[in-house]
Amino acid sequence: MDPCSGAGKLARRQRVRNLATAFLRLAPHGFLTLGLLAMGACAHSPPRPTPVAVVAPAAAAAASTPAPIAPTDLADAATDASTPAAIAATDLPDVATVASAPAPAAPTAAMDAPTPAPIAPTDLPDAVSAATAPQPAMPEQAPAVATEPPTQVAGLLPAQYGDLFDRMRAGFKLEDGADQRAVDQQLRWYASNPDYLQRAFGRADLYLYQIVTELERRGMPLELALLPVVESAFEPYAYSRARASGLWQFIPGTGSRFGLKQDWWYDGRRDIVESTRAALDYLQHLHDEFNGDWLLAIAAYNCGEAMVERAVNMNRAAGRPVDFWDVWLPGETRAYVPKLLAMKRLVRDPETYGLEFSPIPNLPYFARVATHGQINLKIAAEIAGVSPEELYELNPAFHRWATDPAGPHYLLLPVDAADVFTENVDQLSADQRLGVVHYAVRRGDSVASVARNFHTSVNVVRELNDLLTGGLTVGDDLRVPSAVPELPAKVMLAAARVDGRGRSLRRAHVQVVRRGDSLWTIARRNGMNVNTLASLNGMHPGDRLRAGQRIRLTSGSSGGSGRAGGHRRMFYTVREGDTVTQIARLFQCSVPQLLAWNGLSSSSRLHAGQKLRIHLHTRHS
C-alpha cells in the first residue's frame, strides 16, 4: 500500500474516532449521533483509494501458433459475461462438482470494474446463459520463449517480500504441466483475456494475503491460492446453478461437512476466513487420501473423491499409470487442473505471455475484530469509517442488515479501521448497536401489520424478538428497526436466494433437461450420485442429453402401494467398448444376473446399439 494513501486513510479513521467519541458522550441515547458521524466522515475525509489493478496487458505476442480450441461444453456455475463458465467446488457424495467445459473456464459473477465495488444483479447470473453464446476466436499466443524466471532471493522470510506475487512464486511446488496440450490451451486463453485477469486479481487484492498466509502455515503449495481464480474469479458472491457459493464454491452439503454454518442471517461458504479454512481442510484431506498426489487431490476437489478413486482403481487394476494425466475423468475435470497449472505459469512468468502484473503489497488488508454480539452492519460501517459496500465485500457471509445473533461475533475490517471500530462499538448500547426502537403491541396488531408499519419484513420482526410461531399479545414490547436498511444489490440477491430456497426444497420426480445440462450437473443439482441417476434412466453417466428430454429423479411406484421395496425393469443401450462387467457394475448387479436377464452366456459378445434388460431394485422413502 502506498504510504501516502495509507496515511490518508489513517487520518480519516482518527477523525471518525474523535467525532464518534464526542457525539456519543453528548447524546448516549440518540441515533442522531450516527448520522452526524457519517456526515463528518464524508466531510472531513478523503475518499478511500481504489485497490490497485493487478494485471495489465503488456507487449502483444506476435508469432503464429495453432488456434486454441474454443469452449464447447457449458459449465454449471455462475459465469463472467465475457468468459467461459465457472467451476464449483465439490465432493461427489455431497455432490459439489464443477464446470463442464473442456476449454478455459472463468468462474462466476465477474464485475466490469476491477475494484471490489458492488456488482449489479445482472452481473451475478444464477445460470450459465452468459456462457452459452458462441465464443469468439481467441487471439494466437506466441509459444513460450525460454526466459529466465523471476529473480527470487534465497532465504527470505515471507514477511520480507515487498510484492505478494514474489512471495507466492517462491512457494510454488506443483508441476508445470509442461508439454501438456490442455495446459497450453488454457494458458493461451488466459493470456488472450487480460481484462478477465484484471477483474479477478482486482478483487483478489482484498483476500489474497490471508489465503497465502494460511497456505504457508500449513506447508501447502502456494499455487492453491490461485484456485479461486478458477472457481469464482475471486468474487465472494459467486453462485452457481448447483447452489455452490463463495470464493471456493462450496455447495451446501460439502460446506456443512467442513463446518460452514448456513442460516437465515449468515452463510459461512462466503466467509472469507472460514471458507478458506474449510477449502484447505478439504484439499489436505484429499491430498492425504490420494497418497500425496496434489493433482489428483485438486481433481477430486472438482469432481469428487469417489469419482477419482474409481478412476485410479480402474487404472491400477489394468496395470496403467495412476497419475492425473493417465486416469479417465470427466471432461470438466480434465480441463480444471490444467486451468490451475496454466494460471501458475502465467503468474510465475507473465512477461513471457505479454502481460505485466502490478504488485500487490505483501501486507494484510483486513483484521478480524470482535463485535461481542449482534450489530447492524450499516452502523458498523459508520463507526468504522468505511462504506457499507466495503464492509459487505469483506464480510459477504452476512446477507442481512445485521450480523447473526447466534454468531459468529466478529467482522473483517481494513487494518486501519479496526482500532477505531473497537473503541466506538464499546460505547454503544444494545439498541444503538442494532438501530432498533421499541413498540408496544396494540389491539388488532399482528406480526405482519407491525412489519408493514415499520417497512420491514415478518422474518425480521420474528428474528429480532425470538417469535418462532404464534401471534402477539397486547402490551408486548417489540423491537423493530428504526430505519429501513438499504442493502447493496448483490447482498439483496444473496438474501433472496435464501428466502426462496424453502419454496424449492421439494424436488420433482422428473426433470426436463435444459440446454447445457448433463447427467453430472443434474445429479449435482439434486444431491444425487450420478451413477444412480444414470441407472434410473438406463443411461451411462457420460451420455449426452438433449434439451427438452425428461430425466427421472426417483424410481417412483406404478401402483402407489407404498411398499418398502420392489423391482423396476428398464433397458440399457450398449455403447462402443462396453463390457458385461462394466454394465453390471454400473447397475450394481452381478454378471450372472445380467446374463440371465438377457439370455446370454459368458461367451456372448456385446455390440453397440444392443438393448439389455435391467432389473432395478428400488426403495421408496
Q: Which three cell numbers stand for residue 332?
A: 470438466
Task: To the nearest 10°, report the CA torsion of 476, 481, 483, 489.
Answer: -150
Of 248, 214, 255, 216, the closest CA to residue 234 belongs to: 248
Of 486, 369, 383, 479, the closest CA to residue 435 belongs to: 479
Q: Which three cell numbers stand for residue 470?
A: 404464534
| CA of residue 549 relative to chain centroid, distance | 29
Beta bridge partners of 568: 616
Is residue 231 flagged as an active site residue?
A: yes
Beta bridge partners of 163: 361
Compute how many other C-beta atoms are within 10 angstroms of the C-beta atom of residue 221. Answer: 17
Query: Residue 462 and residue 502: Cα distance in Å, rounded?
Result: 17
Side chain identity at 266, as an amino acid letter?
A: Y
Query: Residue 254 and residue 250: Cα distance in Å, rounded?
Result: 6
Query: Residue 75 and residue 552: Cα distance in Å, rounded?
Result: 22
Query: Residue 111 and residue 55: Cα distance in Å, rounded?
Result: 15
Query: Residue 599 and residue 537: Cα distance in Å, rounded?
Result: 22
Q: In degrees rounded to 5, what are phi and psi of residue 366?
A: -130, 165
| CA of residue 609 relative to chain centroid, distance | 40
Compute how many other C-beta atoms are within 10 angstroms of the C-beta atom of residue 11. Answer: 14
The one catalytic residue among 175, 214, 231, 332: 231
Angle at 397 between CA 392 and CA 294, to 5 degrees: 115
Side chain identity at 41, as an amino acid letter?
A: A
Residues known to be catalytic: 231
